[in-house]
Each structure stands twice: as structure tokens, then as C-alpha cells.
Amino acid sequence: MKMDRDDFWRAVGDGSTRRVLNCIKAGLDINMRMYQGYTALHQAIKLGNLEMVNYLIKHGADINAQVAGKKESPTELAEKFEHPDIQETLKGLGAKTKEDLLKEKQALIKSQPWTEGLSGRPIKELAKAGITSKEAFMEWEFCRYSLGGYSVGEILDELQRKLKGLPTYDEERELKWQREKDERRERLAEAGFKEWSDVVRHWKDGLEHYGLSTGKIFQEIKITGPPLVNYLGLPTDEVEKSWWDKKCIDECRGIFQEICDQRPESNHSYFWEHLRSHDVHPIYVNEINKGQQRTLDYLWQAKESDSSLCAVFIQASLFPQLHSTRRRSNNNWKCEGLVYDLDRWCKDILSEVSISCDWESLSINVLPSAARDLWRKDQAIESLKSIILNLAEQHAALLHKEQLIYITRTVKPGSALDLRLKEEEAERKKKAEEWEQGREAREKEEEEARAKWQAQLAERQRQKLQEEKAKHPEHPRWGEWPPETNEELLELVWSKSTVQIAQEFGISDAAIAKRCKKVGVEKPPRGFWAKVEAGKMPHPQGKPVQQ
């Protein structure tokens, strides 16, 4: 009689060992996958048919076969459908849990040379996916951004690329960056600028045409006053920088000195506020916004090199045209692509000296007004050289009107200010010594206060527990679950039945079982305490009994 898989499935479902045997004799594989990825053993476990389970295992059913897709082992399936007798039978026959199988796969993966250097989560993800060989890993398709977190997916993706002989993502990015850089250099070379020195030369020629140079671009302004302090009142190494009108530098220095004499802790920001509030030559000093302040910082870093200064000035002039979200584009450029290449070239040059010009996207005025609105909109700019000369004209107009300055503060020895600063420093040292001397006493007081607070907290918790116990007289140990140590839990579950423990603590049977499973404490099997009460087994007295 011919038998098919449907006959086999129905025979297992009906619990007919005779029909199952006929199917096996007809050549059907006892471990074949049927509906929902189940084997015959999985179906028998689901139905709770212990006799059929034993019969299938006797005739060669795989006790470690996992459900396809869900990766559930027979022991986990028995626990899921609450068949403890089948679960104990499978464990007695050496069936492995999902965790056991996963650990075996991890050990197998670790033992192979191609996984050298891998550990932890990547190995676990490979085991969970069932990838146990190099060939399977080479053919495995996965998303590096969703596999166990980005870092895990990134590690496995880099390994797969390495085994396939492909460049890593970092190498690809580096190659792409180098390729784009070479293409930019080729376009710039075709425009007549093979080296950055060519750009610097044309830019400096444009400045020299107006009688300007980049030598000592920052002028020192000496002020008699205390060192600059930060918002905490501590000395800082920050340098005060600004743009001052060249016509009135001496007058501005005098005003600043008067302000410092009256208010020694004044900084340059207070100087602006003073000029505005007192209407004292308000046009002499432009208020510096955040974008211009960043430009000052970049120019200060580049002050020793004409090459770096040229890059900072050009990039500052191009930023509002190319990158600001409030950009003011010039439609008269006939070589806009080369302008972007020039801007990127400036960035590359500055990165070599660890300068990163990074203005806010909303910034539009990163240079003072003297350098703005000087683009020649009445005629088309057709070459990169014309753009560089136009930029040099803007910068010459700026440097002709404004002077980059930095402020240094000095204190005349023996002056009243010097004596006051020394007294303040001595007072600070004295307070620091007093604080250090009283530190042990303060620490002792804090420790005593902490101990007192902890005792009060423990007393409040004890009183609250007593109140809760008074509300539940039927549960003598209400609020004491779970036990503090695993040893106490083990002794407890082997001293009395689960029902008695649940009644004593005021919890459910399931809570006890879950706690034991979570911490790995073995509890007596079902029916154990019934045998003890019937006198068939001695009382364990809190000690586990070997089954």
C-alpha cells in the first residue's frame, strides 16, 4: 500500500503507532519537514502524546531537530505547550535546548581559521543565523545596519569583504575621495593652476597691487590690566581678537584702557557695549557676530603661513555663495564648477595644517562689511584667475579699512593693581589651604549623615513592610520575595511545596517557577511532594534530591 506524507501526518496526529510504522516501512523519512516546519516528533510533542514521542525516538527521530524558521528545540516546544513529562523524558535522553545548540554552533564557528579575531556578538549572530562554514558565510546576504546593531553588522560585513578580496567601506571611501581629488586637480590644472602656490601667487599679486601684504597681519594692542578670566573667574589662555578701524586704532586703545582702569575685569565684548551705550565713536569697532568670530579664530591659527591665510580668506568669501542656507549666489560666474573645486582645494590645504573652517549653515556674514558686495555683477567672470583676483580685491578693500588686532594685558610691577592681584591670589591660596584642612572633618560629617539617612530609610522600609504584613495576615512573609541569595531559594523550594511557598509569600506558583528558571535553581519535579506526603520518598530537608 502506497503511503504519503499526509498519511504520515495523520497517523502521528491520531497517535497510531501501527500506521506510523507502515509509513516508515514505506520509505518515508521520519525526520521530514511537514506543516509549519514541524517534524513528526514536534507534532507529537505539541499534542502531548508521550507514547508517540517515545515511539518516534525509538525509530530514529532526531531529538535535537529545531522547528524550521522559529529555531525551537523539542525541549523548548515541550515547555511551551506545558508538557513537563515529555520535557523530562527528552532531557533524560540527552536532548539539547536551543541555548545548548547555539553554544555548540558558536564553539564550531570559533574553531575555524576564518573567524580568527571574532568574538562576542558577531559569533552569536552567525550561530543564530546557522552560518557555521566559510562557504555559507561567503554566500550570506545581510544588512550591515540591522544585524544585531550597526557595530556587529559592520564587523561581519568588513570580514565578508575581506574574504571576498573586496576593499572595505573605509578603503572605498578613501579611494573615492582620492579619485575625486585627482579629478579636481586635473580640472584646476587645465585652468592653469597646477599647484596651490599658483593660487597663492595670484592672490598675493592682487593684494600687492593695492599696496598690501600679509606680513604680521595681526597687530598687538597692549593694555594695562589684570589677566583675562573666563565665566568662572579663572585665568584663561584665550586671546581677544577683533577688527578695528585703521584710522582710529590709537583712540580705540585709549578708550579700552580707560574702561579697563574703571572696570579691570572688562573684556572686548564689554568694550562694544560701552561704545554703543555711550555713543562713543560707534563706527570705529564693528560688533563681531559668531561667524566673524570663527573667521578670526581661523585667521589666528593661520597667521604664520601665507598659504593658510590665502585658503582661509578665500573660503570665508566663498562660504556665503556656496554653502550658506541664506546664500547670495552670483549668476555671472561662467566657471562655477571650478569655484567649487577651488573651495574644496582650500579645505584640503587647511586640513593639512589641522585647520577646519566650519561655519554655521545660517551664517552669511563671516567677514566684515568691507569685504561684502564687491562681486562684479555687471560683467561675467569667465576664468578662475578672474575669480581669485576679484577675491583679492575684496580682501584688499577689507585690509585697507580694517586692522586685525589682538589684545595683550600686562600689570606694572608695584602698581596698585599688581598689589591687589597679589592680595587676591594670597586670599585664594589661604582659602584653598583652609578647605583642604577641613576636608577630613567634612568627609566624616558626610559619612555620619549618610549612615543616619540609611538607617532612617531602613526603618521606614521596615515599618512599611510591617504595615503591609498587617494587611495580609494570611501571608506571614508578605513583601519578602524573592530571597536575597540563590542558596536561600534552593533551600526554600526543597523544604516545602510550591503551593505552601506561594501562600507564605503571597505570590503565584508561576512567579516561583519563573524565578527558579531565571537564576538557574533546580526545583522538585511535578508530583515530588505528593510522593513525600504519601511516604514513598523521604523529606529532602532543603537539599536537592538526585532524580
Q: Are 292 and 368 in contact (CB under 8 A)?
A: yes
> Hey, where are the domains in the chain?
5-96, 101-164, 198-409, 413-473, 475-546
Query: What nine digits make up the cell of 24?
Result: 516508515
Query: Distance (Å, rounded) from C-alpha 405 to C-alpha 31?
Result: 86
Residue 161 burial (CB < 10 Å; 0-12/13-18/19+)? middle
The pLDDT confidence band at residue 450, using thresholds 50, 70 and 90, is very high
Tens-place pLDDT, residues 262-287: 776 666 666 666 665 555 444 444 45
Task: Using alpha carbons, list the distances in angstroms from residue 56 to 2, 21, 79, 93, 523.
Answer: 20, 9, 19, 13, 29
Q: Are 315 and 350 in contact (CB under 8 A)?
A: yes
Mean pLDDT along residues 40-64 = 82
CB atoms within 10 A of CB 176: 10
Mean pLDDT along residues 3-28 = 80
Task: Using alpha carbons, list the distances in angstroms from residue 45 to 34, 35, 435.
Answer: 14, 14, 73
Query: Distance (Å, rounded) from C-alpha 97 to C-alpha 87?
Result: 10
The pLDDT confidence band at residue 309, using thresholds 50, 70 and 90, is very high
Query: Distance (Å, rounded) from C-alpha 159 to C-alpha 134?
Result: 11
**355: DSSP letter:** -
Which CATH architecture is the domain 5-96 placed in? Alpha Horseshoe (1.25)
Whether the link from the prior residue into 525 is cis, omega within 30° of 0, is no
Highest mean pLDDT among 6-20, 108-122, 124-138, 346-360: 346-360
**3-state DSSP assignment of residue 443:** helix
- Paired sense of beta strands 402-410 and 240-245, if any: antiparallel
pLDDT tops 70 at residue 375: no
Q: How many residues appear in the chain?
A: 547
Q: What is the pLDDT of residue 283?
A: 41
- The packing angle between helices 150-163 and 169-190, to 10°, is 80
User: 315-333 as b/e, with b when 16 or more CB fall inside 10 Å?
Assistant: bbbbbbbbebeeeeebeeb
Q: What is the pLDDT of residue 285?
A: 45
Mean pLDDT along residues 537-546 = 82
Sign of CA dihedral 155, 160, 163, 169: negative
Q: What is the pLDDT of residue 22?
A: 82
Query: Distance (Å, rounded) from C-alpha 469 to C-alpha 478?
Result: 6
Q: Are 263 and 270 in contact (CB under 8 A)?
A: yes
- Cβ-proximal residues to 388 (8 Å cutoff; 6+ apart), any chain: 199, 202, 203, 206, 314, 342
Q: What is the pLDDT of residue 284?
A: 41
Q: Give the side-chain half-sphere CA count within 13 A for 205.
A: 11
Higher-scoring residue by pLDDT: 315, 383: 315
Q: The whole model's pTM is what?
A: 0.54
Q: What is the pLDDT of residue 148?
A: 54
Q: What is the pLDDT of residue 312?
A: 93
Mean pLDDT computed over every residue of the chain: 80
pLDDT tops 70 at residue 333: no
Mean pLDDT along residues 143-162 = 70
Query: Distance (Å, rounded) from C-alpha 503 to C-alpha 475?
Result: 6
Could you list the beta-strand ranges (E) of 145-201.
none
Query: What nine digits make up the cell of 71?
Result: 529555531
Q: What is the pLDDT of residue 310?
A: 93
